[in-house]
Amino acid sequence: MNEKQTLLNKITHHQARIAIIGLGYVGLPLAVAFAKNGFQIIGIDIDERKVDAINRGESYISDITSEELTKWTVNAPGAGRIVATTDYVSLTTADVAIICVPTPLNKTRDPDVRFLIAAGEAVAQHLHPGMLVVLESTTYPGTTEELLLPMLEQGGSKEQPCKVGKNFFLAFSPERIDPGRTDWTVENTPKVVGGFTPNCQDVATTLYQQAVERVVPVSSPAAAEMTKLLENTFRAVNIAMVNEVALMCDKLGLDVWEIIEAAATKPYGFMKFTPGPGVGGHCIPLDPHYLSWKLKTLNYNARFIQLAGEINSEMPRYWVEKVQDALNDVEKPVKGSRILVLGVAYKKDIDDVRESPALDIIALLFEKGADIRYHDPHVATFAYNGLQMISEPDLDVAIAEADCVVIATDHSSYNWKQIADNAALLVDTRHVL
């Protein structure tokens, strides 16, 4: 029996050991999804605090409760399907390695693939015949083939050199996690999979079919990489478009929300997007720049992406101007005024502040001399651009003491009528009122 068939047998009988590298918003839900289906999971992360928390059955992300995690950790009697470690040596016993590490942008908005390279090198060091490697980290088209594959093919031994599609298998399958959602999860969100060879495609597709309701095969890792970037570039461009429409309506004295709701009555040819303070999170503000960077290497200027980025990044400044105008109307300067920002997470009902436009609003108001405070039921503290802040302990008192309240994140737990009734001045970036 060859390596492919042996691995397929292990996967279909749920006997394959799956190593998941990176235990954040992507890796941990994926680990739980496979554990639910009977697989033994080795979770690998360089953060000892995450490793210790998982082994105690304590979740640190909102999408997985500690109660749910405890069912699958070593602390749960009779379960123990998820074991976390910082040691890459455990890859030697793994049949599958799924890489879910962060791929941020650096200060020049170019891809920062340090974590990916470190994970790839570790996998290559412990690569063995009959192993499947899948990259889920969002990155530019060509990463799997140009960056990860050469590292892996240097693995193995002289007696058993590693040959992709022959004795090890490689694929890219983009993560589609939307933190805070309960309607679309790892299990029921269709999974795009691009294998490097037909054998790679067969193995990777079979793996995800064990835990995901629908698998969507594409022709190559690069096609799967591009699929992910198209999804989020589509959203970034359309959000930028509707943000600019909001600016236009402001100039024309029109209510942008009335316009959007009227346009949304058209049963075809229109998809509703809504304006706000900008874009945040681990995908939309970042992913289009991977594509833009790649195209620059091919002497192509991705104009839509660049323009969308400019518009969305300027929205916090637009809302700061609205705060300034509102204070001017009641004869108060921004400098010295106490301004309370409600919500700093990048979207409602989560604790993630990555790329949150609320942080930019706070930083800009601070630069103008405002006495800036914030409240967020999900984010107790944050540090950003030299600012270190703690959420106000008493919301009612904070509202009563504020000269202006800025709604930056529309958390469901807020009583908007009560806030509107008690705020001296209110600027609503989310149209919740």
Q: How many CA atoms lie within 13 A of 226 on its CB side?
A: 10
Q: Any catalytic annotation for residue 283?
A: yes
Rounded CA-CA distance 171/222 in Å is 10
CA distances from 336 to 56, 330, 396 (A): 47, 14, 21
Q: Are strands 168-172 and 191-195 parallel, antiparallel or unpaired?
A: antiparallel
Sequential DSSP letters for 202-230: HHHHHHHHTT-S-EEEES-HHHHHHHHHH
Looking at residue 92, what DSSP letter applies? G
Beta bridge partners of 98: 20, 134
SS3 state at 329: helix
Helices assigned H by DSSP within 61-153: 66-70, 114-125, 143, 149-153
Backbone angles phi, psi at 310, to 5 degrees: -65, -45
Start-to-end CA span in the chain (Å): 65
Q: 386: alpha, beta or left, given left = phi > 0 and alpha = psi -120 to 50?
A: left
Active-site pick, 100, 162, 200, 283: 283
Catalytic residues: 283
